[in-house]
Chains A and B, each alone.
Chain A
Amino acid sequence: MLTLTINGQSRDVDVPEDMPLLWVLRDHLNLVGTKYGCGIAQCGVCTVHVGGKPVRSCQLAVGDVGTRAVVTIEGVGDTPNGARVQQAWMEGSVPQCGYCQAGQIMSATALLDSTPYPDDSDIDAAMAGNLCRCGTYIRIRRAIKNAATKSV
């Protein structure tokens, strides 16, 4: 039995320690906002925050989470930057199919947490690992810049 802190709540899960956090969230905690896309850290749709850093949950064994707090797309809206980013995403009509967007938003929020006013190369560095098959990159870039200047 493992105890995780997810979106501010403590949750007990009875799963093998080597199970990636992604599948614990999706199949055992009914937090399905975090997506599966590649399973090899190449698409970014599974991005969550662990100890305040963006992490690919498909690669992180749940046993290695330890006491670090986990924030998922379901909870990131409760943080100022998360709310800013979600707002900017809606105002900018960023999503097309929308499947990659939870991961995009988690990466973008982590970017604002470390770099309040990111420029284009900051955005490249933080967002390059998040694929968008629909090609929403232009609006993602714009929405991040808008989010940075939002008040919440």
Chain B
Amino acid sequence: MADIQSNSARSDAYLSALMREVRSIPAAEASLTVGRRAFFKLAGAGAAGLVLGFHLGDTAFAAEAVGGKDQPMNAFIRIAPDNTITIYSKCPEIGQGIKTSFGVIIAEELDADWNHVVMEQADINPKVYGSQGAGGSTSIPRAWDQLRQAGAGAKAMLIAAAAYQWKVDPSQITAKDSVLTHAASNRSATYGSLAVAAAKMPVPDLKSLKLKTRAEYRLIGKRYHGVDDPKVVRGQPLFGIDVQLPGMVYASYTKCPAAGGKVRSFNVDEIKAQRGVLDAFALDGTGVLAEVMPGVAIIAKDTWSAFQAKDKLKVDWDLSQASKDSTSQFSAEAKNLAANFPAKPDMNVGDVDKSFADAAKTVDAYYEYPFAAHAPLEPMNTTAHWHDGVMELWVPTQQPDRGLPLVAKVAGVPQSKIVMHQTRVGGGFGRRLVNDYTCEATAIAQKVNAPVKLQWTREDDFGHDFYRPAGYHQFKGAIDKDGRLDAWQEHFITFTADGKKEATGANLTDNLKYSIKAPNLRRAKTMFPLRIPTGAWRAPGDNAQVFAAQSFMHELSLASGRDHVEFLIDAVNRDVPALAPKDRSVNFSPKRVTDVIKMCAEKAGWGRKLSNGSGLGLAWCYSHAGHVAQAVELSVDADKRIKVERIVVVLDVGPIIDMAGSEAQAQGASTDALSTAMGLKVNIENGRIQEQNYNAYPILRLPFAPMTIDAYFIQSENPPTGMGEPAFPALAAALGNAIFAATGERVRRLPLRDLGYSLAV
């Protein structure tokens, strides 16, 4: 327990105490004294030094309380007398490297000595931190200004404290590596020695803070080691599944294999009699897929006993409300529907029919891709402890702030009675944007008077995912007499859960709406009702839609008789006002697209003469605020075995914060995309997911992975955006386009293994 606490499953006791104080302030009747008590108590709790939220700890609470409205305080900074600087990362670490990048951003403006920065995971409290999600590659862009201001604000107070002591003009004090220096008087002091004094300084006005320019960066843009790597490589407890509490018991939860089924009864006596089993009971749940669906909980002395008993479980399911979905049916029906374009288009620009009539060439093509599971390597789990009217949880989640109200709802207590600790997350990919497993643990914990760890089996994980929906696209395009893209018609066949709008992750993404610049453009959709839950899957929508769109774009450029790169650049730079983003915060830029395409073509040696059986393919995407181009060079043999010779990925996501981490994301996302395009799909029959474990879900393995992936970054003068997703979507299209270049066979369906392709060794 102790080792866990200090290690990470919860951030340190000091912070937890502070959090509870903040929580315990009822916004309305809170007063300065409450706030001050908070601070003194903490001080009494042995805290020393500067504790910085957005404002100084003490007055911050006051300001917040008196104002009565939430004044989010961003990442906490704590400077101890020994000069150790603790920075609390508010967002979940899911492998995207945020815990490192957040530290670097704050340390940069703080001019901290990186070697003495300790990163801690913050607890969950949106009231204090604001957004704490990690999804959509938004952590960095959302926090960029806040974190820099937090760092700069702390530095300003340290400088103020020094200027006050030394009686000098603050502007003459310089900061570097956690030391302040006044050159003229040849005085210097460490941050640690000034921390207590700084804590008494007035809070600087945000507008007064002067943030660094890129030229002034000392830390941002360098290569960093992940801050948790030393613990990771030594196997120290970090992940949700690692949480151990005194007196803890273990739970499994079994839901109906067909989503929506209810428990009629189960062999309760037989289960309770199983070795190591402490209790077993059915839950009706809330009936909401993202919360608690009906199922059977088994409480046992250890995980193995819970799993063994689960094996023996015989549940009589009421299937009246259960899913009967079947993927083979969907693809068959979609193929039939594709040709009849719906009467009511969702989008209609220019005159598509006229363009088709006048076209030099028109091209038709039908594309499809399957459902996919997230399958992160850490199976879903949550540890929950229901005590003293408080629900305390240890959660590996991507969206703790969204989980909080759901947990409160399930537990039937106000959010102030929820204490949620973030753990490191063994893979997100969008799966953990949904907090269903956390809600289940909550419901179970209320029936068990001990800390309980709910552990899903891998089979639970495959069987109860929120899947990447399949999709079917019937395209028709027109090339005018000058060989330019003139018309784009798309009939998108997708899914709906509520009968009104597309299911989660099943909508045509805005990114694509901006990206396809055809002067005449018409889009319509048909939606199949779907009971199987869908969700965001790494680069939602884009992860498969870009494959279809960019592959078809290649078909069009071939029809145009022009060079593919030239055709793409021409197309994206067309001025079609109707397609311009309405929302000004959208940073889509044809110029940035053009730059990444050009650089990618150059790095990949576009235009080279390749030997027979070899091919080079290129595609681009605008995804999650990133501008990306990818190229794949490969050869294909007679047995359709693909040898990937080279993968090039060029990204413009603005300035890079951690170069090592960004390369890792670029390579990891490209590898994931290759793996997914080659082999991944889930089949659904009568509402049941057929793939239950990795033996049926062939994630790329090391011998088949590329020896290297060349990642290049155009560090444009734009605010930085996220790296988790942009390097995924364009790869499959680049791969398919390369296969066409090598063999003349067009890939219009994923995964490629269904077309007889495999990766050579």
Residues on A lying within 8 angstroms of B by beta carbon are 15-16, 19-20, 23, 26-28, 30-40, 42-43, 45, 72-74, 77, 86, 89-91, 93-102, 105, 120, 123-124, 127-141
Contact = CB atoms under 8 A, between A and B. Distances in A.
B230 A90 contact: yes
B246 to A, nearest CB: 11
Contacts of A37: 377-379, 458
B93 to A, nearest CB: 8
A55 B225 CA distance: 29
Contacts of A86: 233-234
Contacts of A32: 235, 237, 241-242, 244
Given A40-B693, A73-B235, A141-B707, A133 B304 contact: no
B228 interface: yes
Q: How large is the interface on B (under 10, 10 to 19, 20 to 34, 35 or more residues)?
A: 35 or more
A99 B226 contact: no
Contacts, number: 183
A89 B229 contact: yes
For the complex of A and B, the 3 pairs showing the least CB-CB separation, nearest first, are A33-B235, A97-B95, A135-B671
Contacts of A137: 671, 700, 702, 705
29 contacts: A15-B302, A16-B275, A28-B302, A33-B237, A35-B241, A35-B426, A36-B379, A36-B455, A37-B379, A38-B693, A39-B693, A40-B693, A40-B694, A42-B694, A45-B377, A74-B236, A89-B229, A97-B94, A97-B377, A97-B428, A98-B232, A102-B232, A124-B702, A127-B702, A133-B376, A134-B672, A135-B667, A135-B671, A135-B705
Contacts of B42: none
A24 B675 CA distance: 33
Nearest to B696: A42
Contacts of A20: 304
B429 interface: yes
Given A97-B94, A124-B761, 11 more contacts: A19-B302, A20-B304, A33-B235, A37-B377, A74-B236, A90-B230, A96-B668, A132-B377, A133-B377, A137-B671, A138-B705
B191 interface: no
Contact of B238 (A45, A98, A129): A98
A134 B232 CA distance: 15
Contact of A27 (B303, B424, B761): B303
A124 B424 CA distance: 29
Contacts of B234: 33, 73-74, 77, 86
Interface string B685-708: 000000001110001111101111
B605 to A, nearest CB: 21
B723 to A, nearest CB: 11
Interface in B375-416: 375-379
Nearest to B660: A93
B694 A101 contact: no
Interface string B17-52: 000000000000000000000000000000000000
Contacts of A28: 302
Contacts of A73: 234-235
Contacts of A39: 307, 457-458, 693
Interface string B298-309: 000011100100
B661 interface: yes
B664 interface: yes
A34 B660 CA distance: 26
Tell me what chain A mostly uses at the interface: helix, strand, loop, or mixed: loop
A72 to B, nearest CB: 7
B729 interface: no
Contacts of A102: 232-233, 235
Contacts of A27: 250, 302-304
B377 A123 contact: no
A22 B36 CA distance: 49
Contacts of B671: 135, 137-138
B129 interface: no
A88 to B, nearest CB: 9
Contact of A74 (B230, B235, B241): B235
Contacts of B229: 89-90, 93-95, 98
A94 B233 CA distance: 9
B427 interface: yes
B488 interface: no
B122 to A, nearest CB: 19
Nearest to B427: A97
Nearest to A143: B233
Contacts of A128: 701-703
A41 to B, nearest CB: 9
B228 to A, nearest CB: 7
B669 interface: yes
B219 interface: no
B239 interface: yes
B668 A136 contact: yes
B97 interface: yes
B727 to A, nearest CB: 10
Contacts of A120: 707
B425 A97 contact: yes
Contacts of B702: 123-124, 127-128, 130, 132, 137, 140-141
B682 to A, nearest CB: 15
Contact of A98 (B228, B304, B665): B228
B695 A40 contact: yes
B224 interface: yes
A94 B232 CA distance: 10
A106 to B, nearest CB: 9
B233 A135 contact: no
A98 B304 CA distance: 24
A97 B458 contact: no
Contacts of B668: 96, 134-136
Centre residue among A19, A39, A99, A140 by max chain B CB count within 10 A: A99
B655 to A, nearest CB: 19
A28 B709 CA distance: 42
Nearest to B375: A133
Contacts of B237: 32-33
Given A90-B233, A95-B233, A19 B304 contact: yes
A118 to B, nearest CB: 12
Contacts of A124: 702-703, 761
A101 B232 contact: yes
B452 to A, nearest CB: 13
A124 B703 CA distance: 5
